[in-house]
Structure 1
Amino acid sequence: MRDFNETLKNRVIFYFAVVFILFIILVLRLFWIQVINSAEYEHKALSQRVKEFVVDSERGIIYDNTGRKLAVSLPAKTVVALPDNVINPEKTASELAELLEISYSTIYRRITSDAAAIFLQRKIDNNLYQKINAKEIKGITFTEESKRYYPEGKLASHIIGFTGIDNNGLNGLELSYNNHLRGKAGKMIVEKDAEGETIPNGIRETVPGRDGYNVYLTIDEVIQYMAEKELKNAEDKFDFSGGSIIVMDSSNGDILAMANTPAFDPNQFGNYPEKNWRNRAINDVFEPGSTFKIITAASALEEGVITENDILTDPGHIYVGSEEISCWSRYGHGKQSFAEVVKNSCNPGFVEVGLKMDKEIFYSYIKAFGFGEQTGIRLPAEARGIIPEYDRIGSVELATFSFGHGLSVTPIQLATAISSVANGGKLMRPRLVKKVDTGNRSKNIINEPQVVRQVISKSTADKTKELLKQVVESGTGTQAAIEGYEIGGKTGTAKHYNEDVYDSSFIGIVSTDTRDLVVLTILYDIQGETYYGSQTAAPVFRNLTSNILNYLNIKPDTNHKKGYEINNQELEVPDVKGKSFLNAESDLRGKGFNVKLIGDGEIVREQLPSPGIKTNYNSTVWLFADGKSKNEILLAVPDFRGMTGMEAVKLARQKGLELVLDGSGKVIGQSVYPGKRIKSSKKINLKLR
């Protein structure tokens, strides 16, 4: 009995100890939950009865410069599945697979998942919404989202870009101005009961969002449409891979149109190959060809190494080192002024001019005009162009630069550079966005016109424009002429290496009473017999510009001023050797000559041409100081054949060359081949008969 009582007692003590330990554990657990970790459990409890909903913001509208809407946001339905409410997953998946064009297995997997709700397809069109809604499928509902819509379809698609399914910008201005356009999402917090119903007097809090800002462009929808239409028309006439057109207001850098082909519809961008999305006017480079001669001419005129009246010669080619550079004219243009070199688009003439500038000077002008760097237009993936490194440029490279070969530029770089010529030498930053409207006038973001730098003087810019007018009036650009309007411009044709494929272009300056417009047209990878810029790009320019002038209500002027006309007056070069540079320059300019000073000395030791030579009014006389000699300059040898002895001597002296005549009559042979570049001290023997 005693043993039994002892056993019972031990059992009671044991069970009491167990219960006590469990009680202590329970107390500790309660202390852990209610004191130490109370915040976490409070949050969990609150999250079960408090739901947070994201309230999407409205993406900003994109307008053209007249207030026309180019990009807007519209409400769109999204198909949502509630797996717990789906009655017949097999039948539901089968019906939706056909309507949504999604595989049966994918839909079945989604509607049988553990998720409370899952998106099946976002932002469907209204027709599809009506079809699905009419079926009243159990467990399938809809939520409303905002969908980006481009009312003009393909128009300006490369500029505007597009957004993804989440309404974030993926291309164009939609991407580069995404932070301004997308706004900031808000949220709503409501309290739910155990069955998920909103408690009428429960917690309710709203955190307001912010709609995206509206963006106003410089683009004119009508001019943009005209540009795209002309590219489309060109596709029907020529065999090329694509094209670009830029219309720019040179006075402020505003881009009025930027068109590219092939195009795409940003409402359905996924239906087009990615190459169609590329904005070739910004992202791609090409050899500018003869359009770059405008840069060479403006730089040389600014440096004073040439004037429009200087005499140059073209035997059909010129030699630089061992390389022969040919003219497009098989027999050359013979003796001509620089004004005629520009009008005739003569490669040897431009080579001669380019080499008159030393490498450092010419390279600095190329950079100053903005080539080799981004323009800052603020579009995605803007290319910098390809300008060879300074140390890798020799005389041959310098020569080819002069007529636009051996370097690559973007269309926007070329249009911006030529706009500086149209704008009195001021290089403007190209502008696509005028204003970002924040809804608060004092905080609106205004993109004011911005002058990057003064590249050349106004007088040089005006002279260059006059030279370009004669190109359109009577030179290689006559296909771009429009009766009654002052238009200057330049054609360009660049052959791809080792291929019979060309990039053809025309860039024109259209002068009006209030501003000068610059219009660039480029057709890439042209094949076939018709490929010159004068045959292809120039007519596109003419048709487009004619429509633009009519749209802007700019009337023709039948009395408009003609381009540069050559002054045929000849003057005798005075002897200024031994004079100070200051006095010599004053004397020469007073007599109607241009002057180029070479060297740092104060006294003129040599001059070119020599004293007593008769040459054109306003042609250049080179003056050399101590340490510099005219023999350091290589002079291109003309083709004297067919000239009389007197004609040959006069031309040689104007060029700074010396002749030795053998015989009488006309020149039938010469000791130095035409187009070779020699020192002025080297004598040329001519055979006359």
Structure 2
Amino acid sequence: MGESKLQVRKRILILFLIVVFVMLGIILRLAWIQIFNNELYQSKALNQRLRKLKVEPRRGIIYDKNGEELAISGSSQTVVAVPAEIEDPSKVADKLTLILDMERSEIYKKITKSAYAVYLERKISEKKAAQIKSLDLSGITFTEETKRFYPKGDLAAHILGFAGIDNQGLNGIELAYDQVLRGEPGRIMIEKDATGRMMPRGVEQYLDPTDGNNLYLTIDHVVQYIAERELEKALRGNEAEGGTIIVMNPQTGGVLALANRPTYNPNHFAKYSPGRWRNSAISDSYEPGSTFKIVTMSAALEEGVVNLEDQFFDPGYIKVEGERIKCWKNGGHGKQTFAEVVANSCNPGFVQIGQRVGKEDFYQYVKAFGFGQKTDINLPGEADGLVYDYDDIGPVELATMSFGHGISVTPMQLITAVSAVASDGVLLNPRLVDRIENEEGEVIKDFKSKEIRKVVSEETAKTTRDLLEGVVTDGSGEKAQVKGYRIGGKTGTAKHYGVQSYDSSFIGMLPIDNPQLVVLVVMKGVSSYPYYGSQVAAPLFHDVVKDTVRYLGIPPTEREEVRDREQEDSKEVEVPNLINYSFAEGQSKLRQLGLNSKFEGSGDQIADQIPKPGAMIRKGSTVIFFSDDALDHRSRYDITVPNLEGESLKEARSLLSELELKLEGEGKGTITSQQPKPGTRIESGDTIKVKLN
């Protein structure tokens, strides 16, 4: 019996100890929760009772350069359902499906959710909101949100882009500057019980949203309208896949207009295929054709391998590594000065110019002008373009690149590069945004013109502009002329591979003495005739510029009369023998004769020269010196032999003299044969032997 009582006591003691340990654990846990971690659990309890509602900020306004609204945010009604307050969900779903763009099953699922409140359809029209309000449905209410609106419809659509249902930027400027435009959301916090009812004397708090900042673009909405109007008219008059027009101020890099076709309305962007959203001015590459010759001529002038009086001969083709590159003119242009090569847009002439520049220097200029890399205009989807890797450039690739084939550029790259010629050789970063302001109108950030690099000298840029003026007054760009304005520019036509379709383009600048505008016109995939840049793009340039200069108030500048060359400049001088002289000595002697010089190679002693000693050339011409390690460069300056058959000795001698070649032959009558044959490439100063009948 005593033993049994002892066991009972032991069991009671064990049970007591267990209860003590459990109670101690509970006490310690309560102490941990209420003393050591009371702030954490108090916060969790409060969060369970608080309903946090997001208050949308108003997205910033996008203005053009003159303060015209291009993108704004307006109020819009969003339909909200409170499931606990809906008495007959089935009947409510039946009524709402007749108004909302939703399936009945989807509406029913939302209004029967186990949630305090759910969105049914956001940012509906005023008409729909009025229809729903007239039904007076219990549990169906509205909340006000902001909706992005583009008051000018499809104007500048590819620049502006669009914003989504949550006011987030999805394309264009709206996406690129989303963080600037979006602002910071506010909060409404209300304390409610477990059933969702507001608690008496419960917590209520309202945090104001911070509205987004406003953007001022460099775009002028009137110039943009002119560009889009004329592009639309041109597409109606030509069979083409689309087109692009860009208008830029070359002194600042500011884009005044950027128009693409086909286009879309950003107010209803979802109704268009994503291809319509694509900004082809920055995203699509194309072969620039002859418009790229501006880069070739600038490089050649800067390197001193050509001057205005240099003579070239075009028999209608040129052979490079066995490849026959044709001129657009049957039979070729014959004898031409460098200025005439530019005005005639002669491909064989530009091949010879590119050969003179050489692979290494030409590649450096292509890169310096910004090709093969983004312009950093800060728009989504910009392409790099396509340029050969240096090691992949052979004689044929160099030849085709010199007249704009075998290279792909974006319209924005091309107009940025040509604007460097218009701004005295300075390459500027293109820009679309002028400044950022807050709600109070205070400037947060001002976007100044940004110089990237100096690509050519001021003198080279001026000479290039003068040559481009000749293209408009006397060459293929004649239809781009606007009365009273000196304009320089270049046409371009490039065929699509495998199909009868062309890209026709023209790029021009004005006034030529101090350019204020550079305008690029590209008509893509032209399949109707005529398709040449001179017939399709140049007239479109004229139509855009004619109204733009009037609107901007750019005064007309009458073309200066071409001054006659002084008698001294028209004289010919004999090239002295400067082989074995130092470069400095040779340069000094040529300067005394009114001649220019260029030295190729790394040595200092002249091992050879072009033209040869004894050749007669005009003052102002350039003599090329070569050191021992650059003698293989002489072939760059080879001259194409003209066809002399049927010419008299006097006529032939005059022609060859201008090409810096010699003539050997005697007799009367006309030339019946010659050696070397026409089209052969020979060195300057070489002799052509002829026979007469």
Q: Could you report, residue by residue, the CA deviation over 1:151-174 in whole angstroms, capped at 9, with x for unpaired residues?
A: 111111111111111111111111
3-state DSSP class of the match of 2:510? strand
Deviates more, 1:566-575 or 1:52-61: 566-575
3-state DSSP class of the match of 1:354? helix
Matched, 1:646 2:650: yes
Q: Which residue of 2 aligns with 1:106?
A: 106
Give the superposition deviation at 1:262: 0.7
Give the superposition deviation at 1:190: 3.3
Q: Which amino acid in structure 2 is aligned with residue 569 of structure 1?
A: S
Mark the CA change 1:505 to 1:29 in structure 2 (over 3 Å): closer, same or farther.
Answer: same
TM-score (norm 1): 0.92
Q: Which residue of 2 aligns with 1:214?
A: 214
Q: Which residue of 1 aligns with 2:576?
A: 575
CA distance in 2, matches of 1:21, 1:75: 66
Matched, 1:409 2:406: no
Mark the CA change 1:369 to 1:46 in structure 2 (over 3 Å): closer, same or farther.
Answer: same
Q: Could you report, residue by residue, the CA deviation over 1:600-657 in whole angstroms, capped at 9, with x for unpaired residues?
A: 4444443322344333342222233445548544332222233222333443354354
Give the superposition deviation at 1:445: 1.3
3-state DSSP class of the match of 2:240? coil
3-state DSSP class of the match of 2:678? coil
Q: Which residue of 2 aligns with 1:621?
A: 623
Q: Which amino acid in structure 1 is aligned with residue 285 of structure 2?
A: V
Give the superposition deviation at 1:52: 2.2
Q: Which residue of 1 aligns with 2:148?
A: 148
Aligned-pair identity in percent equals 44
Mark the CA change 1:177 to 1:562 in structure 2 (over 3 Å): closer, same or farther.
Answer: farther
CA distance in 2, matches of 1:550, 1:203: 63
CA contact (8 A) 1:163 1:174 kept: yes
Q: Which residue of 2 aligns with 1:268?
A: 268
CA contact (8 A) 1:83 1:114 kept: yes
Q: Give runs of aligned pairs for residues 341-490 of structure 1, distance below 5 A.
A: 341-438=341-438, 444-490=444-490
Matched, 1:183 2:183: yes
Give the superposition deviation at 1:374: 0.9
Mark the CA change 1:628 to 1:161 in structure 2 (over 3 Å): closer, same or farther.
Answer: closer
Deviates more, 1:150-159 or 1:34-43: 34-43
Mark the CA change 1:562 to 1:431 in structure 2 (over 3 Å): closer, same or farther.
Answer: farther
3-state DSSP class of the match of 2:225? helix
Give the superposition deviation at 1:530: 1.6
CA contact (8 A) 2:435 2:443 kept: no
CA distance in 2, matches of 1:151, 1:650: 68
Q: Could you report, residue by residue, the CA deviation over 1:90-141 in whole angstroms, capped at 9, with x for unpaired residues?
A: 2222222231221122222222222222111111121211122212222221
CA contact (8 A) 2:308 2:339 kept: yes
Q: Which amino acid in structure 2 is aligned with residue 444 of structure 1?
A: I
CA distance in 2, matches of 1:471, 1:437: 44
Q: Could you report, residue by residue, the CA deviation over 1:231-258 in whole angstroms, capped at 9, with x for unpaired residues?
A: 1111110111111111000001010111
CA distance in 2, matches of 1:515, 1:522: 20
CA distance in 2, matches of 1:114, 1:137: 19
Aligned residues: 684
Q: Could you report, residue by residue, the CA deviation over 1:541-565 in whole angstroms, capped at 9, with x for unpaired residues?
A: 10000010010122324x3326798
3-state DSSP class of the match of 1:73? strand
CA contact (8 A) 2:616 2:660 kept: no
CA contact (8 A) 1:631 1:681 kept: no
Give the superposition deviation at 1:355: 0.5
3-state DSSP class of the match of 2:99? helix
Give the superposition deviation at 1:186: 2.0
CA distance in 2, matches of 1:296, 1:282: 23
Q: Which residue of 2 aligns with 1:86?
A: 86
3-state DSSP class of the match of 1:536? helix
Q: Which amino acid in structure 2 is aligned with residue 32 of structure 1?
A: R
Give the superposition deviation at 1:312: 0.7
Mark the CA change 1:512 to 1:612 in structure 2 (over 3 Å): closer, same or farther.
Answer: closer
Q: Which amino acid in structure 2 is aligned with residue 108 of structure 1?
A: Y
Q: Which residue of 1 aligns with 2:67?
A: 67
Q: Which amino acid in structure 2 is aligned with residue 560 of structure 1?
A: R
Deviates more, 1:120-129 or 1:240-249: 120-129
CA distance in 2, matches of 1:509, 1:564: 23
2:591 to 586, 589, 592: 589
Mark the CA change 1:682 to 1:550 in structure 2 (over 3 Å): closer, same or farther.
Answer: closer
Which runs of 5 or more residues in structure 2 are unaligned? none
CA distance in 2, matches of 1:19, 1:241: 92
Give the superposition deviation at 1:575: 1.3
3-state DSSP class of the match of 2:232? helix
3-state DSSP class of the match of 2:247? strand
CA distance in 1, matches of 2:52, 2:601: 79
Q: Which residue of 1 aligns with 2:340?
A: 340
Q: Which residue of 2 aligns with 1:236?
A: 236
Q: Which residue of 2 aligns with 1:164?
A: 164
CA contact (8 A) 1:594 1:618 kept: yes
3-state DSSP class of the match of 2:525? strand
CA distance in 2, matches of 1:621, 1:541: 39
CA distance in 2, matches of 1:342, 1:565: 21
Q: Which amino acid in structure 2 is aligned with residue 49 of structure 1?
A: R
2:29 to 19, 32, 38: 32
Give the superposition deviation at 1:75: 1.2
Q: Which amino acid in structure 2 is aligned with residue 599 of structure 1?
A: G
Q: What CA RMSD, in Å, does the superposition of the two structures yield over aligned residues? A: 3.0
Deviates more, 1:413-422 or 1:611-620: 611-620
CA contact (8 A) 1:662 1:685 kept: no
Deviates more, 1:353-362 or 1:566-575: 566-575
CA distance in 1, matches of 2:461, 2:377: 23
Mark the CA change 1:442 to 1:133 in structure 2 (over 3 Å): closer, same or farther.
Answer: closer
3-state DSSP class of the match of 2:97? helix
CA contact (8 A) 1:311 1:619 kept: no
Q: Give runs of aligned pairs for residues 239-318 of structure 1, distance below 5 A.
A: 239-318=239-318
CA contact (8 A) 1:224 1:257 kept: yes
Q: Which amino acid in structure 2 is aligned with residue 364 of structure 1?
A: Q
Q: Which amino acid in structure 1 is aligned with residue 570 of structure 2?
A: Q
CA contact (8 A) 2:436 2:443 kept: no
CA contact (8 A) 2:660 2:685 kept: no
Mark the CA change 1:206 to 1:509 in structure 2 (over 3 Å): closer, same or farther.
Answer: same
Which runs of 5 or more residues in structure 1 are unaligned? none
Q: Could you report, residue by residue, the CA deviation over 1:542-595 in whole angstroms, capped at 9, with x for unpaired residues?
A: 0000010010122324x3326798889241223142544323323323433332
3-state DSSP class of the match of 2:487? strand
Mark the CA change 1:673 to 1:181 in structure 2 (over 3 Å): closer, same or farther.
Answer: farther
CA contact (8 A) 1:576 1:584 kept: no
Q: Which residue of 2 aligns with 1:507?
A: 507
CA contact (8 A) 1:64 1:217 kept: yes
Q: Could you report, residue by residue, the CA deviation over 1:519-559 in whole angstroms, capped at 9, with x for unpaired residues?
A: 001011110222101111111110000010010122324x3
3-state DSSP class of the match of 2:350? helix
Mark the CA change 1:514 to 1:491 in structure 2 (over 3 Å): closer, same or farther.
Answer: closer
CA contact (8 A) 1:354 1:399 kept: yes
Matched, 1:669 2:673: yes
CA contact (8 A) 1:51 1:189 kept: yes
Give the superposition deviation at 1:22: 7.6
CA distance in 2, matches of 1:335, 1:314: 6
Give the superposition deviation at 1:145: 1.1
CA contact (8 A) 2:577 2:614 kept: no
Q: Which amino acid in structure 2 is aligned with residue 538 of structure 1?
A: A
Deviates more, 1:95-104 or 1:494-503: 95-104
